[in-house]
Amino acid sequence: MLKNVLKLVVLGVIGFGILVFATAKEPENIKTNNVNSSAIKLSTLPSSFELVGKDDKVSRDSLFKSGSKTLVIVGNHDSLSVVKDLPKFYDLKIPYVMVANISAAPWFVKKMFIPSKLEELNKGSNIPMIYDFEGDTVKALGVTDNAKTSYIAYLVDENGNISKIAKGSVKEGALDGSMNEEEKKASLAPLSEYLK
């Protein structure tokens, strides 16, 4: 009897794995050949965004205030766990927005696991984090780096022009505490001159 139950459980797990594998979309290759980095404008970003921890979408105009600078940082779990502490280490004079670059993950993972992880990651922070499910924001910015330890920073100027200003990286496992405070501050140093 116990053998039959174990067989059933094992077959169920294998069947579930096959189902997930068979129905997962192939990760999209992000093509940036058509993205001229000198021509990226705020108007090329999606008109609305899904934010981590929010039920309703937020419009581009309410997230990015007209006539003011905004820092946009694209990253994955490890890098965003450090980026969210930016105000702790540097005097931040301009608002910033984080973009969770998760579009390459299988749809099942994006639906079931990533939202709760990102909510946990951004807990206690008032920094908006875009949940870039389809990768529209990443594509508009021309991001091709999906490494979980790297981040790419962009500056939206007062006229709505967007320029890439810095690229940095963090230690693998930063989300799980592999970095001390000094290491976190050093990994964010490439951004410091743009925060005024």
Residue-wise pLDDT tens digits, 54-74: 889 999 999 998 889 999 999
pTM to 2 decimal places: 0.77
The pLDDT value recorded for residue 123 is 85
The pLDDT value recorded for residue 38 is 57
Record the tokens describing residue 47, joined without a space: 């008109």
Q: Label residue 133 by pLDDT band (50, 70, 90).
A: confident
pLDDT at 111 over 90: no
pLDDT at 49 over 80: yes
CA proximity to 28, closest of 132, 167, 163, 154: 132
Q: Which residues pair with 155 in a beta bridge?
A: 71, 163
CB 168 within 8 A of CB 188: yes
The span from the CA of 148 to the CA of 75, in Å, is 7
Does 68 or 105 have the greater pLDDT score? 68
Percent of the chain with pLDDT over 90: 44
Please report, for residues 22, 36, 61, the alpha-carbon distance to residue 173 in angstroms, rounded to integers and kept in the order given: 30, 33, 35
